[in-house]
């Protein structure tokens, strides 16, 4: 027979309340599931006895209670984080789309008002950037790849085509107002 003896604190006979176990679980979970020695150092003592559970008790709790409950909570946490991230992206894309329409209108107004002294590069870039942002925001990320490969003359022709389509849209909107 071995002469090895374990300290009596390893054999805790004390029963802890479910409220206290939940408190210890939350400390463990919120602390990113630390090792049991670290957990024992950071948990509060049981309010009923003033004692902390020993490492063996914490090990049993972790295996039987903490890990299964944490798996459920982690899944719920990630689902909520994912939902928030998706909603934030949707809102961001909606803002981008609205802003891109304003950019396009500014470019159109500038082109119409400054036909003679038009700085082509700034007007074209504003219009193209507005269209790009709108299309990307609506899930068409590479729709303007063709435009980026065009020469300045080809870009000018494309702007004229867009303006003639937009002018028709603007005129029909003005008639509706």
Domain layout of the chain by residue ranges: 16-79, 92-176
Q: Examine the pLDDT at 15 and tell me if it is beyond 90.
A: no
Q: What is the structure's pLDDT at 56?
A: 92
Phi, psi for 43 (deg, rounded to 5): -80, 150
Q: What is the structure's pLDDT at 86?
A: 78
pTM for the predicted model, two decimal places: 0.48
Q: Examine the pLDDT at 44 and tell me if it is beyond 80.
A: yes
Q: Examine the pLDDT at 100 and tell me if it is beyond 60.
A: yes
Residues 6+ apart with CB under 8 A from 40: 52, 53, 54, 55, 58
Residue-wise pLDDT for 47-93, tens only, equals 988 999 999 999 999 999 999 999 999 999 888 888 788 778 778 87
Residue-wise pLDDT for 120-164, tens only, equals 777 777 778 777 777 776 654 444 445 555 666 776 777 777 767
User: Are 126 and 106 within 8 A, CB to CB?
Assistant: yes
What's the whole-number average pLDDT of the chain? 76
User: Are 63 and 19 within 8 A, CB to CB?
Assistant: no
Phi, psi for 52 (deg, rounded to 5): -105, 150
Q: What is the structure's pLDDT at 38?
A: 96
Q: How many CB atoms neighbour CB 100 within 10 A?
A: 20
Q: Report the number of secondary-structure helices (H) and strands (E) in the chain.
A: 7, 0
User: Are 66 and 39 within 8 A, CB to CB?
Assistant: no
């Amino acid at each position: 027979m071995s002469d090895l003896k374990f300290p009596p604190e390893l054999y805790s006979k004390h029963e802890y309340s479910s409220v206290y176990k939940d408190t210890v679980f939350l400390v463990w979970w919120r602390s990113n599931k630390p090792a049991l020695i670290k957990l024992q150092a950071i948990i509060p003592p049981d309010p009923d006895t003033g004692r902390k559970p020993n490492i063996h008790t914490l090990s049993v709790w972790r295996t039987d209670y903490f890990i299964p409950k944490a798996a459920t909570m982690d899944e719920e946490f990630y689902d909520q984080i994912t939902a928030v991230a998706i909603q934030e992206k949707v809102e961001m894309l909606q803002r981008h789309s609205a802003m891109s329409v304003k950019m396009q209108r500014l470019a159109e107004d500038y082109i119409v008002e400054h036909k003679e002294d038009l700085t082509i590069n700034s007007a074209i870039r504003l219009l193209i950037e507005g269209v790009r942002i709108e299309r990307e925001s609506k899930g068409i990320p590479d729709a303007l790849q063709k435009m980026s490969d065009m020469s300045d003359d080809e870009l000018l022709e494309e702007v004229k085509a867009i303006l003639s389509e937009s002018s028709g849209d603007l005129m029909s909107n003005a008639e509706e107002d």
